[in-house]
């Protein structure tokens, strides 16, 4: 399991043996069962998560309804810029859709490692840039695309989600009711 994170970092930039060792020795891996809540809205946490295996759904509760805002699967980071940078309480829930293993990162521990290994800070900044660009792209698409386009983009970019997540969560993610998702799917089947 630890090797997955080291391999991920190595794809960004080559690691020295010392850097790989400090990552492996300082790594905290947590395993959750399907249905476990990793983080609750209002909870304080400055942890980040790297999904080794499994699937985590991010959602908010609005007017008593769960609104899905993201799905995180293998080799994806869960970083809340508000909680890490501003020490604010979480604005959402993280729940495991499947049995899931994550590496838990801690900002304080990371800063100590960065002092000793500046290359790892560069990797961290690259990861933050990537996560920020993914969020920005998602927000732009959500604002400019119609639900059918959001559905098609999700199907194209992350087809595995449709096998791993209930349809009502996918409907919530693309911003429609489950009945509307059924209509979108029927319409697309007729086109093909």
Residue 14 in any domain: the answer is: yes
pTM beyond 0.85: yes
pLDDT above 70: residue 192: no
Report the CATH number at residue 30.
Answer: 2.60.120.10
Q: Which residue segment(s) compose the domain that 17 sits in? A: 2-119
Write out pLDDT tens, residues 105-137. 887 888 888 888 888 889 888 988 988 898 898
Q: How many CB atoms lie within 10 A of CB 14?
A: 10
Write out pLDDT tens, residues 35-82. 999 999 999 888 889 999 999 999 999 999 999 999 999 999 998 766
Residue 64 in any domain: the answer is: yes
Using CA atoms, how far apart are residues 131 and 76, in angstroms rounded to an integer? Answer: 9
Across 147-180, b (16+ Cβ under 10 Å) vs e yields bbebbeebeeeeeebeebbeeebbbbbbbbeeee
Pick from 134, 99, 110: which is nearest to 22 by CA?
110
Residues 6+ apart with CB under 8 A from 115: none
CB 119 within 8 A of CB 75: no
Residue 167 in any domain: the answer is: no
Residue 84 in any domain: the answer is: yes
β partners of residue 100: 32
Write out pLDDT tens, residues 80-113. 766 556 578 889 999 999 999 999 988 788 888 8
Number of folded domains in the chain? 1
């Amino acid at each position: 399991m630890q090797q997955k994170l080291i391999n991920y970092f190595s794809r960004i930039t080559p690691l020295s043996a010392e850097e790989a060792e400090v990552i492996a020795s300082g790594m905290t891996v947590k395993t959750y069962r399907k249905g476990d809540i990793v983080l609750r809205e209002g909870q304080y946490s400055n942890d980040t998560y790297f999904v080794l295996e499994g699937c985590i759904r991010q959602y908010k509760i609005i007017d008593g309804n769960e609104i899905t805002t993201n799905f995180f699967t293998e080799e994806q980071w869960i970083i809340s810029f508000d909680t890490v940078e501003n020490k604010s309480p979480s604005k959402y829930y993280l729940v495991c859709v499947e049995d899931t293993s994550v590496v838990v990162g801690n900002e304080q521990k990371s800063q100590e490692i960065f002092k000793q290994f500046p290359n790892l800070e560069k990797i961290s900044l690259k990861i933050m840039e990537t996560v920020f660009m993914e969020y920005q792209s998602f927000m732009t698409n959500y604002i400019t695309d119609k639900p059918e386009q959001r559905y098609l983009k999700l199907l194209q970019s992350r087809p595995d989600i449709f096998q791993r997540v209930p349809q009502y969560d996918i409907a919530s993610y693309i911003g429609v009711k489950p009945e509307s998702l059924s209509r979108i799917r029927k319409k697309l089947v007729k086109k093909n």
